[in-house]
Amino acid sequence: MKQKLKECVDCGRTTLIWSKGRCKACSNASQLSVKVVSPPGRDNIPLKAKKPMKKKSDKRVEQEKKYKEICDRMDTNHKWVCFFCGGEIKAKKPDHHHLDGREEHYLTPGLIVFSHRKCHSMYHDTSFKKLPWRYAYLQRLRLKDEQLYQRELFKLDK
């Protein structure tokens, strides 16, 4: 099947069209955010430079600011006891663990708990069945939130 030659929307050359009405050179250039020089007699049409995507949305930056305020308030108003092992935290600053993830209930103070750095890392990096304090943790979780307790039991059964 023979393809028809068409005019490129960027440089005006009559050639095979690759993507979005552009020739191969303009298509590649648009991906690299480079200007393609048009042939003589045709105006240069600059291509828009692509902006890199933000690492964090404005909404997430605002949430993290509020989260830091909540944690700072918690740090000054509470006795530091590790939610995982139950031991007293003697570090300068405790870790904070989100019992229900970091999405929907990210800013709910009741679901943010203190933990030792080591216990927090073990919880996230170790199989639940290998955690030495898993049963004590489950008891504390059950007192805090029955639904989260049931979710952890489900993980234990896997």
pLDDT at position 46: 56
Clarify whether residues 73 and 112 are in a common domain.
Answer: yes
Clarify whether residues 30 and 93 are in a common domain.
Answer: no
Identify the CA nearest to 109 among candidates 96, 94, 120. 96
Identify the CA nearest to 22 among candidates 33, 32, 11, 31. 11
Domain housing 2: 1-52
Whether this prediction's pTM lies above 0.95 is answered by: no
pLDDT at position 17: 86
Contacts of the segment 72-75: beta carbons below 8 A, 24+ positions apart: 73/109, 74/109, 74/112, 74/114
pLDDT at position 9: 85
Clarify whether residues 35 and 93 are in a common domain.
Answer: no
Question: Last residue of a domain, which of 52, 71, 87?
Answer: 52
Count structural domains, the chain: 2
